[in-house]
Structure formats: C-alpha cells, structure tokens
Amino acid sequence: MSRKRVLVVGGTGYLGQHLLQDLSDPQGTTLYDLAFTYNANPPPKPLLDAIPHALSFRLDLRTGHGFDAISRTFGQPHVVVNCAALSVPRACEMDPAAALSINVPSALVKWLSSFQRNTFLIHLSTDQVYEGTKIFYKEEDETVPVNVYGKSKVAAEQFISANCSNFAILRSSIIFGPQSVSPVPKSLPIQWMDNVLAKGDKVEFFHDEFRCPVYVKDVVTIIRTLANRWISEDKQMQLLLNVGGPDRVSRVQMAEAVALIRGYDTSLIKPVSASSIDRGVKSPSDISMDITKLVKTLDSSPISFRDGVRLTLATEPSS
C-alpha cells in the first residue's frame, strides 16, 4: 500500500505541532508522508527533532508563494489540514484586510483545484462565527459574528463550501492542553491561570462569558479520524462540525477548576463582568456549542473540561 501524504498548513502553531507529533513516528512506520508549512520564522529545532521525517516549506498564504515548491518536492497531498490563521481577535480588528487575506484560504483552494485528483481539506474554523446570544449553538444556526475575526472565518467557510467538493470545517472552541514541543509565544489559558493563581494575588475573571473549551489531543484525534476515514473509504465529504468540549464554562469556572486541582485558594478568583473591561474588540458572550453531531459522526466524545485540566497540569511543574 502506498503511503499517503498529509500536509499541515500552519504546522508551527500550537495545534499544528500537536497534530504533527501525533501523525509522526520517529521510526517512520506511520502510514503518512508528512509535510508542514511555516510563514515568518523557520521551524524551531525541538519541533524538527520531534518529527524527523517531515518536510517543511515556507508559505505565504496571502500570495500563494511556496505552493510550487510543495508540488515539486512533496507532490499532491491526499489530506491538507489548515491550521493557519490570524486568530487574535484584537489583531484582526486592527487590520481587517490582513485577517481576510490570511483567514480566507483562497490561494490554498486555488492550488488544490489545480490537481486532477481530489484532496481532502480539513479546515479549522471557530466558535466566534456565532453571535453569542443563546446557549449550545448547533451547526445549522445562523452565523452572525460580532467581530472581524468571526467575520473572516465565516467568509472562509463560505469560500470553501462554494469552491471545494471534499472538505470538513471544524468550528473549534478554545483549545487547551499541554505546551507544544516547541513552546508557542502566546500564553496558553490553563497555564496562564495556574501561574497567576500560584502567586497568591486576587485575579479578575469573567463570570458572564461562556465557551466549551476542548482538549488539544481530542482535536488531534478528530482530525486524524477524519483523515483516516477519507483515506480508507475514498468517499467525498462536505462536513461542518462544532468541535468543543462537553462542558459550558465561564472564565471563573475555568479558573476554579485549576484552583481545585492545584489546591489554590478559590477566594483569589474575583468574578467580574466581561462588559466591565474594554479589550479593543467586541466578544460574544455565550458561544457554547452543541456537539451532538460531532459525537454521532465520529462515534467518540471529547473529555470533560476538568479531566483536560488535570491532564494539562500533570505536564506542568507546580509553582
């Protein structure tokens, strides 16, 4: 059986690194030939050491510069996972043109359409496509994003649906878990809460903004399951899935879970309203998601928030 080629676009980011590690086998015995892309900074050595058989390519998603080199050296991938995005809502608000040009993968889709054979595109979207005015959004609910980031991701979903015949769009909530093999510059939510609570100072957390955070290794399992399904069944998919954890939690409840597992004083957690702080960008208040379709489609369920926090903190030294 010939080995299947998987390309991870945005492989040096948090989810990208976790995914590459999962798909890679240092002995090279996996079913996949792996490649990944990076944009500004060359791949860090710890990542390259962890995935010695993977090829890396510099890629500018806005212009498409770099796709030719992938075609020449790696060939047409069977599966592409697009993890690349301008995903900081405030940065998107400050530069809407950059948000659209990076988050709508027009150059990627154009490249894939140049091949004769079908490639399966797995694209990471966001829970921020929802307005945030009710609980447990379903996939068929209207998308009314309140900020530029959400709008750019809705535009990406519409572009892929209109121009691809074989895809899965995953609307992910906050992804949390252990640090990646090469630490990413942005702060990770559970590690940040752990660090601030360990100092023993009172910290403000929102009590009225709700999400369904999802453990990173569950997201990786979902992606791998979808890729394997396409590779083994060779049946086209046009799939849209909410990818969240099973629990609807506020930032206060997230911090309480960290405090209870670590043994910190929960009175350090000071509940405040999200409306009391200007973050320079509008944020939806409740974008909790119904994951019934995800569980039914893949026959597996993401772990609880508290179990995910326990697994995350097990990899971090106590402060």
What is the per-residue pLDDT for 315?
87
Q: Which superfamily, per CATH, for 4-179+213-245+288-303? A: NAD(P)-binding Rossmann-like Domain (3.40.50.720)
- The mean pLDDT of 2-7, rounded to a whole number, is 90
Measured in degrees and rounded to the nearest 5, phi and psi for residue 78 equal: -80, -35
Reported confidence tier of residue 278, pLDDT bands at 50, 70, 90: confident
pLDDT score of 177 more than 90: yes
Reported confidence tier of residue 2, pLDDT bands at 50, 70, 90: confident
What is the per-residue pLDDT for 318?
66
- The mean pLDDT of 65-73, rounded to a whole number, is 97
Domain spans of the chain, in order of start: 4-179+213-245+288-303
**pLDDT tens column, 195-226:** 999 999 999 999 999 999 999 999 999 999 99
Reported confidence tier of residue 319, pLDDT bands at 50, 70, 90: low
pLDDT score of 29 more than 80: no
Reported confidence tier of residue 109, pLDDT bands at 50, 70, 90: very high
Name the average pLDDT for the chain.
Answer: 94
Residue reference for tokens 């997230």: 254
- Position 306, amino acid: R
- The mean pLDDT of 79-89, rounded to a whole number, is 95
The first and second tokens of residue 273, run together, are 């309203």
- The mean pLDDT of 107-132, rounded to a whole number, is 96
* Residue 292, helix vs strand vs coil: helix
What is the per-residue pLDDT for 310?
98
- The mean pLDDT of 162-188, rounded to a whole number, is 96
- The mean pLDDT of 50-60, rounded to a whole number, is 95
What is the per-residue pLDDT for 40?
83
In the chain, the percentage of residues whose pLDDT exceeds 90 is 88
Reported confidence tier of residue 26, pLDDT bands at 50, 70, 90: low
What is the per-residue pLDDT for 65?
97
pLDDT score of 33 more than 80: yes
Reported confidence tier of residue 25, pLDDT bands at 50, 70, 90: confident
Q: What is the 3-state secondary structure (H, E, C) of 125-192?
A: EEHHHCCCECCCECCCCCCCCCCHHHHHHHHHHHHHHHHCCCEEEEEECCEECCCCCCCCCCCCHHHH
CA dist 153 and 172 (Å) reads 11
pLDDT score of 289 more than 90: yes
Task: Indicate the pTM of the whole model.
Answer: 0.96
